[in-house]
Structure 1
Amino acid sequence: MPVKKYMRRGTSKFFFLPTIAATTMIPTRAEITSGTEFSEFIAAMDGWTVSNNEIETPNMADTYDGTIPGSDKAESSSFTFYEDEEESEVEELLAKGTVGYIAIFRKGDVPTNKSMDIFPIRVASQSPQYTADNEAAKFMVTCSITSRPVQGAAVPAAT
């Protein structure tokens, strides 16, 4: 079966959602609509993945060191944003201490597609990036992932 490849840049959508009512952390279409899309501000990102801390299980009967799955952990996650010369919408939206959810639509906002990831976050820091290089002004927002994210959820139907 051939793979229909695509590029995330220009396809994926990123939203900040201040609240999600469901304990499943699956937002409704109304919660997504009331959130803020910030895709166009993103210059770079890091993290936004979950990894497993495997546990080594050596034993005296074998020279091979086996492993078993251990606890899961979200990697350190951040966004680098372009700074707007006049407005500070994203800086205010993601100020240090802000609590909410980052919703990532990996394949775009395509209803029923199982490509939505939800990360519960608290903004750990926000800092301008200073450089003498010939490039646009940027700032970085680092987020703590406060509990297990939801990955591969279905995008809610449009209303």
Structure 2
Amino acid sequence: MARFNRKGVTKILFADTITDAGYMPTLAEITGATDYTKQIAAVDGFSLENQEIETPDMDSTFVSKIPGDDSASDSSLTFYEDDTTDTIETDLAKGTTGFVIICRKGKTGGTKGMDVHPVRVASNSPAITADNEAAKIMVKFSITDRPLLNATVPAT
């Protein structure tokens, strides 16, 4: 098993539309998506969580569980803020809908590990601090439907 560092490999894109009902993007949709990888300082969430159901019974003091409903974790991308343009503020304004595409192992055609999250921007807020660090802006996303997970990046 070859290990790797996500930095320099993983790509994070935003697509306005994906025509497939199962959220599988075409190569043209991936190519047309905005690649935000270089502007991202931090990623949080973008995963599914299961709300397990406890199933105690009278036969044991052990409380077993069964899988319950799935839900999306709270998800956000923190970007480095630009002092001359407002691309993040306008392209990802509150209420914007689209798809966050995460190509975990790169976006080379035929590579497994692409996740597509249908989203609505919940908030877009600058992180104001007096600390000695680059200016950042956090975009929080509401995941609006079950994401497509571990898909294969379309080949040319």
2:88 and 2:125 map into 1 onto residues whose CA distance is 12
Alpha-carbon RMSD: 0.7
2:96 and 2:56 map into 1 onto residues whose CA distance is 43
Alpha-carbon distance, 1:106 to partner: 0.1
TM-score w.r.t. length of structure 1: 0.96
Aligned: 1:81 with 2:76: no
The count of aligned residue pairs is: 156
1:128 and 1:51 map into 2 onto residues whose CA distance is 28
Aligned to 1:26: 24
Give % identity. 50
Alpha-carbon distance, 1:108 to partner: 0.5
1:91 and 1:8 map into 2 onto residues whose CA distance is 26
Q: Give, as a single letter, the amino acid of the residue that structure 2 aligns with 1:66.
A: S
2:107 and 2:31 map into 1 onto residues whose CA distance is 11
Alpha-carbon distance, 1:62 to partner: 1.0
5+ unaligned residues in a row in structure 2: which ranges? none
Alpha-carbon distance, 1:111 to partner: 1.0
Any runs of at least 4 consecutive aligned residues in structure 1 with deviations exceeding 4 A, and if so which? none
> Which residue of 139, 145, 148 maps to 2:146?
148
SS of residue paired to 2:68: coil
5+ unaligned residues in a row in structure 1: which ranges? none
2:86 and 2:33 map into 1 onto residues whose CA distance is 17
TM-score w.r.t. length of structure 2: 0.98
